[in-house]
Amino acid sequence: MTKLPKKKRFEVQEGETLDDCLDRMKVEGYQVVRRVEKPLFQEIQKDGKQTFQPIGQQVIFEGRRIDS
């Protein structure tokens, strides 16, 4: 039997809800211990100036193995 790592990160995929990701974690044998949100930006060149525009966010859950 393969031993699961104690901690693992799960990124919410495109088209996946938060609940879907949490269910995927549970199926793999992990429970949430931390949630991280990172902003996503797009670089824009306007009038010779470089600016950044927010286009969304990336949600990552850190999971800890559920010990049976």
Q: What are the pLDDT digits (tens) for 10-66? A: 999 999 999 999 999 999 999 999 999 999 999 999 888 999 999 999 999 999 998
Amino acid at 39: P
User: How far lies 3's CA from each of 6, 29, 37, 65, 67, in Å?
Assistant: 9, 11, 29, 10, 12
Does the structure show a pLDDT above 80 at 3? Answer: no
Rounded to whole angstroms, how far apart are CA atoms 33 and 61?
Answer: 8
Global confidence as pTM:
0.76
Of 63, 1, 56, the C-alpha closest to 28 is 63
